[in-house]
Amino acid sequence: MKLRPFVAVFAFLITSLVFCQEKQITLQDIWSGSFRTEGMQALHSMANGKQYSVLNFDRQNRTSTIDIYDYKTLEKVKTLISSADIAEIQGFFDYSFSADESQIILTTKSQPVFRRSTLGEYYIYDLTTKKVTKVSDDLVQEPTLSPDGTKVAYGFENNLYVKDLKSGSIEQLTSDGKKNSIINGITDWVYEEEFSFVRAFDWNADSNQIAFIRFDESDVPEFSMDVYGADLYQTQHVFKYPKAGEANSKVSIHLYDLTTNELSELGVSKTYEDFYIPRLEWTNDASILSVQFMNRHQNELDLWFIDTNKPASKLILSEKDKAYIDVTFNLTFLKDDSFIWTSELDGYNHVYHYSKEGKLINQVTKGNWEVTNYYGFNEKANTIYYQSTENGSINRDVYAIQLNGKNKKRLTQKDGTNSASFSADFTYFINTFSSATTPQEYTLHNSKSGQLVKLIKDNDALTKRLESYVMSEKEFSTISVNGNDLNMWTIKPKDFDANQVYPLFMYQYSGPGSQQVANRWNSTNDYWYQMLAQQGFIVVCIDGRGTGFKGADFKKVTQNELGKYEVEDQIEAAKQLGKLSYIDAERIGIWGWSYGGFMSSNALLKGNDVFKMAIAVAPVTSWRFYDSIYTERYMTTPQENPTGYDENSPINHVDKLKGDYLLIHGTGDDNVHVQNTMRMVEALIQADKQFEWMIYPDKNHGIYGGNTRLHLYKKMTNFIHKTLGDNM
């Protein structure tokens, strides 16, 4: 007979006796912000390369300031702007500089549209004249100063406008913008969500032309969500959302010439059908625009240069992949308009250098590891700076390498997650470091040698505070599953006894290219796992096939079958862990959010002889319900791949349910629609399967606001105890 540890009240009493000097983590601690880390707000490297600016808040006086600090001494040099000195505004919470740093855009009000997009009130502050100019009396989107600082372009009600900052005159560049029909210069919902950008317009170097993408979403099907609010009658939020296999926006490139006041459409010398334009950016040449075109399957990517003076186009670079190509922001033009590009051409993500004609000059980085961030090119030193996994896939380090691929140097020394912010002239970089044992610390380094110059900020206060709590080590290891060594972390009770037996609670996300097993400081969920561990649970996370930073083959093995190999790995891992003497194989649970909810649902259904329970938060229950760009990138269309969609979607396996299932969703989720849960619920009912579920009115994909997160985690914690803690 297996010995069972006491949980709940008895476990609390025993733990209190053993660790009488240590406090138990509570949900109130977690969601009150007790464990919040200190950071650096809105850091900007000044063009002189010797100073940087930081946004600071004085909560007592309710003022916001942009303060200038010296890199070498880290001492404050001056306050550039204080909201207390600007009569026109009460305060600001974000800022951005003009190219010459003579003007600053201040954000004073903001309201969200979708995940990345906002409507805001903006002011432009001239540092020379001290003049304050309001961009618009309306709430607008993406105000962007021209390179010469004389004008500002912005989006309003699906049209583009330019304001002359000297005369105050406003020029409307487009007039056909219409809600749920035509959008000029601002991305539609699916581009914003899946290509990660909102501003779809760009100034040329001479400040006399604006190129932009026009979205015609007339044929895109509409999705509607009820908004319950506090009124007697609910309202509806209706927006265009292309689900897998449905019509996307028709996109085109346009140019507005501010010299001639002419609007024209730009094209390329190749006919595309059903395509995307995921990136648009001017080169250093004021007449050469770079545009990236991608086919609907997203396995072909073309980089075009368009000469807007002729106009004429030239195909510069073309990539193809058997699965898909990731679109990045890493395209960087050097002074001669040769460019830096990152690609998985050799099976791992690396840096490449191409001539302006698109000829490969050289592959800058090489090896069986991934470049995870590109920081920039120091022209004076002929050096590229990047972040990579060379020190192991769960770690991140900062490196420098010559443009010719020689003289590579590791600039960071601590094992964990290192991320750099370089000064404008690349003399210094501020490194943000954390690990599983060290909360975020900010240090200044010499970029030539990586030598530490000074500590800027740490979170020692948090570290000391946590010393009074029961905290377990996060143990990193690998587990051999289905022919692969998978990264894993484990959190055990601090008083772990290998002679006792514990329930196992597994967490995963598992989406393509993702990573949850990483050597970095705690997320909020980690404190929850610590709380569960102190209550007698062992918590484990495993990154299975399909996750990132182990090469393209490992990541793309799930192509056309999302939810097959990832689920197989979680089931097999649970079986192996269940054979350990201190794991109760009859009490194994799993949970996840979004893609993780899709995974936990599938694991419970397909692994019904392994998992006793699952929690699914905001899950995709059928890939037919999700958006076109994300889903088709990995699955092609449901018309082309019906079995891939249906055989791995949990909604089609409800008859297999044996264990306990908790399904949670917000009704205001514009990303993974509550439709997923409603259809899953109906399928479960018709299959005569009992389950539990929770709906959060008007809450989006993040399910937060007010008391919501605390309520959600209480709900999940109680469910875990009820289903995995019985008779313990």
727: pLDDT strictly greater than 70: no
| Tokens of residue 264, six digits | 């024209």
14: pLDDT strictly greater than 90: no
Residue 728 has what pLDDT? 47
* Average pLDDT of the segment spanning 624-635: 98
Residue 726 has what pLDDT? 61
Query: Over pLDDT 70: what percentage of the chain?
Result: 97
| Tokens of residue 487, six digits | 């990264």
* Average pLDDT of the segment spanning 580-602: 98
CA-only gyration radius of the chain, Å: 27
Residue 12 has what pLDDT? 39
Averaged pLDDT of the chain: 94
Instruction: Please report how the helices 565-578 and 595-606 are oriented relative to each other, as an axis angle in degrees rounded to 10.
Output: 60
For residue 311, cis peptide bond before it (omega within 30 degrees of 0): yes
In a domain, 460, yes or no: no
Render pLDDT for 173-230 as a digit per residue (tens, 0 to 9). Answer: 999 999 999 999 999 999 999 999 999 999 999 999 999 999 999 999 999 999 999 9
Render pLDDT for 72-90 as a digit per residue (tens, 0 to 9). Answer: 888 999 999 999 999 899 8
Q: How far apart are CA 175 and CA 460, in angstroms?
A: 55
Closest to 403 in 3D by CA, of 420, 421, 385, 429: 385
* Average pLDDT of the segment spanning 3-19: 39
* pLDDT bucket at 21, cuts 50 / 70 / 90: low
* pLDDT bucket at 397, cuts 50 / 70 / 90: very high
Q: How far apart are CA 493 and CA 500, in angstroms?
A: 11
* pLDDT bucket at 18, cuts 50 / 70 / 90: very low
Name the 3-class secondary structure at 191: helix
Residue 16 has what pLDDT? 41
309: pLDDT strictly greater than 80: yes
In a domain, 30, yes or no: no
Render pLDDT for 478-492 as a digit per residue (tens, 0 to 9). Answer: 999 999 999 999 999
609: pLDDT strictly greater than 70: yes
Beta bridge partners of 480: 485
In a domain, 428, yes or no: no
| Tokens of residue 181, six digits | 């029909």
6: pLDDT strictly greater than 60: no
* pLDDT bucket at 2, cuts 50 / 70 / 90: very low
Residue 576 host element (H or E): helix 565-578
| Tokens of residue 80, six digits | 């550039």
Q: Work out how many domains the chain is built from and give that number.
A: 1
Half-sphere exposure of residue 366, counting CA atoms within 13 Å on the CB side? Answer: 10
Any residues with CB less than 8 A from the CB of 290 and at least 6 apart, and which?
279, 280, 281, 282, 283, 303, 304, 305, 306, 316, 331, 333
| CATH code of residue 600 | 3.40.50.1820
Q: How far apart are CA 585 and CA 576, in angstroms?
A: 9
* pLDDT bucket at 11, cuts 50 / 70 / 90: very low
In a domain, 10, yes or no: no
In a domain, 84, yes or no: no
Kindly report the three-state secondary structure assignment for every residue of 116-128: CCEEEEEEEEECC
* Average pLDDT of the segment spanning 464-468: 95
Residue 17 has what pLDDT? 43
Residue 426 has what pLDDT? 95
657: pLDDT strictly greater than 50: yes
* pLDDT bucket at 62, cuts 50 / 70 / 90: confident
Q: How far apart are CA 726 and CA 51, in angstroms?
A: 59
In a domain, 133, yes or no: no
Q: Cα-flanking dihedrals φ and ψ of residue 496, to 5°?
A: -50, 135
In a domain, 668, yes or no: yes
Residue 534 has what pLDDT? 96
Q: Measured over all CA atoms, what is the biggest interatomic distance in the chain, rounded to whole angstroms?
A: 86
Q: Are 34 and 27 in contact (CB under 8 A)?
A: no
- Sequence letter at residue 500: Q
660: pLDDT strictly greater than 80: yes
Render pLDDT for 123-176 as a digit per residue (tens, 0 to 9). Answer: 999 999 999 999 999 999 999 999 999 999 999 999 999 999 999 999 999 999
* pLDDT bucket at 59, cuts 50 / 70 / 90: confident
Q: How far apart are CA 350 and CA 342, in angstroms?
A: 5
* Average pLDDT of the segment spanning 368-393: 97
In a domain, 615, yes or no: yes
Residue 4 has what pLDDT? 39
Q: Which structural domain, as residue segments, surrounds residue 533?
A: 473-724
Query: What pTM does this model have?
Result: 0.94
